[in-house]
A and B are shown apart, each in its own frame.
Chain A
């Protein structure tokens, strides 16, 4: 099974910009990995932020954006708010075995 890697933790100042990345042990992440991004707060169900690399969920604030960056999937937060302090997880699809694998999560401090 592939291993998906994220930064364990990041810190951003209020109003600042931060990028969380998501890499794969099998090689560059591309659109056929259909990257997803989720926000997780303690005691709550996951919240879907981004699907299929760049598509914002209907409830996702515009300050969150998804992209591919240097062979990885990326989640960029522009204009961080205190309420954005949470864990962020990416999820990649592997078509060869129709498997999906989460990254280890990134704890974001604002």
Chain B
């Protein structure tokens, strides 16, 4: 059974950066894309991007280009999503999802990021 574990809640100030981790087990981490999605309070889902852990290639949403970086460490089956120059609008729950046969087969529990001065 695939399990997805994310890092804990974060409290940051405007202008800070945050790095959220997403560890998977029970699947072939190296060969499958990891997707990242967020939901701000009272708002809908927003696709952030995806990364292929072994190839290292990533696609990002146009709206966060330049602030968003996705990486992966295959030795620990963990993907990372780093968002810089944080603003209040980045307050949201950040989710990762792992692929087996479909891109969003297994979801992590979410990581709450609060940006507050």
Residues in chain A within 8 A of chain B (CB atoms): 1, 36, 38, 40, 45-48, 51-52, 55, 57, 87, 89, 91, 97-105
Scoring B50, B102, B108 by chain A CB atoms within 10 A of each residue's CB, the highest score goes to: B102
Residues in chain B within 8 A of chain A (CB atoms): 37, 39, 44-47, 50, 59, 61-63, 95, 97, 102-105, 107-110
Known A40-B45, A91-B47, A102-B44; contact A48-B102, beta-carbon cutoff 8 A: yes
Set of chain B residues within 8 Å of A48, measured between Cβ atoms: 97, 102, 104-105, 107
A45 to B108, CA, bound (A): 7
Set of chain B residues within 8 Å of A46, measured between Cβ atoms: 37, 45, 95, 97, 104, 107
A28 to B95, CA, bound (A): 29
Set of chain B residues within 8 Å of A45, measured between Cβ atoms: 95, 107-110
Partner of A105, one of B45, B104, B105: B45
List 20 A-B residue pairs with CB atoms under 8 Å apart, sorted by A's residue number.
A1-B61, A1-B63, A36-B103, A36-B104, A40-B45, A45-B95, A46-B97, A46-B104, A47-B107, A48-B102, A48-B105, A48-B107, A51-B102, A51-B104, A87-B44, A98-B59, A99-B47, A99-B61, A100-B50, A102-B37
Q: Which residue of A lies closest to B48 (CB)?
A: A100
Assess whether A97 is in contact with B62, with CB atoms less than 8 Å apart: yes
The 7 closest A-B pairs by CB, nearest first: A51-B102, A100-B47, A45-B107, A105-B44, A98-B59, A48-B104, A102-B45
Set of chain A residues within 8 Å of B45, measured between Cβ atoms: 38, 40, 46, 89, 91, 102, 105
